[in-house]
Structure 1
Amino acid sequence: MNTGLQIGDVRIDGRVLMAPMTGITDLPFRVLASQLGASYVATEMVAAAELARARPDVVRRAAVGGGLPLTVIQLVGGDAEAMAEGARMAQKAGADIIDLNFGCPAKEVTGAACGSALMRTPDQAARIMEAVVQAVSRPVTVKMRLGWDDNSLNAADLARRAEGLGVAAVTVHGRTRKQFYTGIADWHAVAEVKQAVGIPVIVNGDIITAEQAREALARSGADALMLGRGVYGRPWLAAHLERALIDGTQLREPDRDERLAIVIRHLRASADFYGLPLGLKMFRKHLGWYIEQAPWPADPTERRAAKARLCRLETPEEVEEALTALWLDVKHSRNFAVENRPQVVEAIA
């Protein structure tokens, strides 16, 4: 696989991208994944209208900071003017790429005529794309699904409209909104989108292993791929998968020491960014995934018990010591050294 991807005037140093995920790709996660080698990690989904109003929790989702090779801010909304204003704010904050969410299947999003609901109203989707492209000088991309349901598979048509309006790339999740995350992602269906446009097309859905990545690219003909839920508890996945695709090897997983250092770095960054106790609370879902994804203890029942126990601890220090004891050994737990805390706190003004 050739390395690198061009989106508008932005050169991405890889073709394995990380999707925007609410509650997952916050600034601590994005900085960590980038430090581990990921070339593209998008923000959480950011409500454009609330960003324009500077609602604190929404501004925090769009936070930018040092250590990021690329800043991609994803916006969601159903009003063209509000999306354009949100895009202007994102550009002012330093976004290299502005991504529009036409794919989120959540009921609270589609119920507000946003996300994948816009695939049922392509004229409104086009008004949003046109308004945003005209509002900013940065490349604008769109993330969508195959369609609302099997009777309205309109991703290729929407992608053609997007290209005509100046959108620089599209990402297609190989499911309909009706499917949510059930069934199997249809990578072959993404090929119709690739054949319909000249801009880069990125395939998304059910890609976790190197074999799946190769097959998704082959079936879709896409220019790149995007990882979603597969990165839960594996922020190194994009970088390691990139290397596996380039050299044809199997995916390499971190060993115990590497994995422990990554988790502790993530924990400390979360505590720095959010403060305590919120930082630990926000980190607990990641901690659960880290424990679930690790092969230690070998017994799944023991892993589940350890997850339940560690996710009830009340201080970062307790988590560090307990996790070190779980993965290494008790006497090692007081001597384990990790890198200095990364600087991650620089938000949109």
Structure 2
Amino acid sequence: MLQIGPYQISTPVVAAPMAGVTDKPYRQVCRQYGAGMVVSEMITSQKDLRDSTKTKFRSDLIGEPEPVVVQIVGTEPNVLAEAAQYNVANGAQIIDINMGCPAKKVCKKAAGSALLANEPLVQQILTTVVNAVDVPVTVKIRTGTSPDQRNAVNIARIAEAAGISAITIHGRTRQCKFVGQVEYDSIAAAKLAVDIPVIVNGDIDSPESAQQVLNYTNADAVMIGRAAQGQPWLFQQIADYLAHGHYQAIPSADQRAATIHKHIEAIHHFYGDVMGVRLARKHIKWYLSHWSSTPSEAYRQAITQTENPTEQIELLQAFLQSTTAINKAA
């Protein structure tokens, strides 16, 4: 059982923080389908951006099930510490520090995975944030800045010494971004080097691969990101397989259609008509990529290009209903 501070996580399957994806409606779907813990989209530590539209949506934690995990990003220890305090006051029960994002706009500010090149600063950030709040603090990293500069073991030791409650490691370096084969040896070495929980992340896309990676690294849990886009039931499949050695192939077509419909409606409700329709498009695309039948190009464009929320729902529902018979055999 994965334990982070006072929180026992129900399943060793965690939904990854993904900017522009892991919003409140998506987190709700992930929890519904077996994610034992979900981590928010990264929230800036900059005080002057708290009133921005993006940050306000990302900071909405009302009704979130325990533990509520908020990921913060930044470069200055005191600014991150103050951001941690602010988010705890807003309802966060665990603070996660982003030291793993490889995006250029994050790294050019020396944040995210760029921090891994500066171990003294990493130590200062982690210690300062841990001392600033009375809730568990975790950190997400990569294996290093480049294949010839892997320092995940060092960072894990620094994290444990600073009082970090758990560490998530993505098995690529900053330079690799999301390209190429994931390297799990560094994660296995980090697990041997520390006593805090280690969560493994990177290219885990099936129950079988989750079990294989856990066996190889001896990690305490898996974190699933892109693989669950369009198929959130993957969390439950992995949880069942890890617990019982078997899992349901996929939910029925009717169940999947209901989930899709409910998720898209939740996006519309959360963001409002204009933003909701636009932000729902990528989720619709992901869901349909896992549907046994694909819409015609004209139909796909109609679903994804409409600006009308009612029309978007009706077009999507009509397509799902018209192809449910095929999907029942899937």
User: Do they fold alike, i.e. is TM over 0.5?
Assistant: yes
Partner residue, 1:209:
206
Partner residue, 1:185:
182
Distance verdict in 2 for CA 1:101–1:51, change over 3 Å: farther
- Mapped partners of 1:309, 1:14: distance in 2: 39
Matches within 5 A, 1:1-349: 4-50=1-47, 53-250=50-247, 252-297=249-294, 302=295, 306-329=299-322
More off after superposition, 51-60 vs 34-43 = 51-60
> 2:99·2:114 contact (CA, 8 Å) conserved in 1?
yes
Give CA deviations for 1:310-344 in whole Å, capped at 9, x if unaligned.
10123232223222322222999xxxxxxxxxxxx
CA RMSD of aligned residues (A): 1.9
Superposition deviation, residue 245 in structure 1? 1.9
- Mapped partners of 2:323, 2:188: distance in 1: 52
SS at the partner of 2:40? Answer: strand
SS at the partner of 2:140? Answer: strand
Give CA deviations for 1:242-269 in whole Å, capped at 9, x if unaligned.
1122121145212221111111111111
> 1:35·1:67 contact (CA, 8 Å) conserved in 2?
no
Give CA deviations for 1:128-171 in whole Å, capped at 9, x if unaligned.
10110011011000100000011211111011011001000000
The unaligned stretches of length 5 or more in structure 1 are 333-349
User: How many residue pairs align between the two structures?
Assistant: 325
Code of the residue aligned with 1:310 in structure 2: it is I
SS at the partner of 1:296? Answer: coil
- State the TM-score, normalized to the length of structure 1: 0.88
- Mapped partners of 2:260, 2:38: distance in 1: 18
Superposition deviation, residue 8 in structure 1? 1.4
- Mapped partners of 2:296, 2:248: distance in 1: 23
Distance verdict in 2 for CA 1:271–1:165, change over 3 Å: same
Question: % of aligned pairs identical?
Answer: 38
Give CA deviations for 1:49-96 in whole Å, capped at 9, x if unaligned.
147744342132122021523211001100111100110011111112
SS at the partner of 1:142? Answer: strand
- Mapped partners of 1:189, 1:53: distance in 2: 36
- Mapped partners of 1:154, 1:117: distance in 2: 12
Partner residue, 2:328:
none
SS at the partner of 2:46? Answer: helix
- State the TM-score, normalized to the length of structure 2: 0.93
> 2:293·2:323 contact (CA, 8 Å) conserved in 1?
no
> 1:34·1:67 contact (CA, 8 Å) conserved in 2?
no
More off after superposition, 165-174 vs 61-70 = 61-70
More off after superposition, 44-53 vs 255-264 = 44-53
- Mapped partners of 2:21, 2:250: distance in 1: 20
Bigger relative contact order (CA 8 A; separation at least 6):
1
Code of the residue aligned with 2:316 in structure 1: it is L
Superposition deviation, residue 303 in structure 1? 6.0
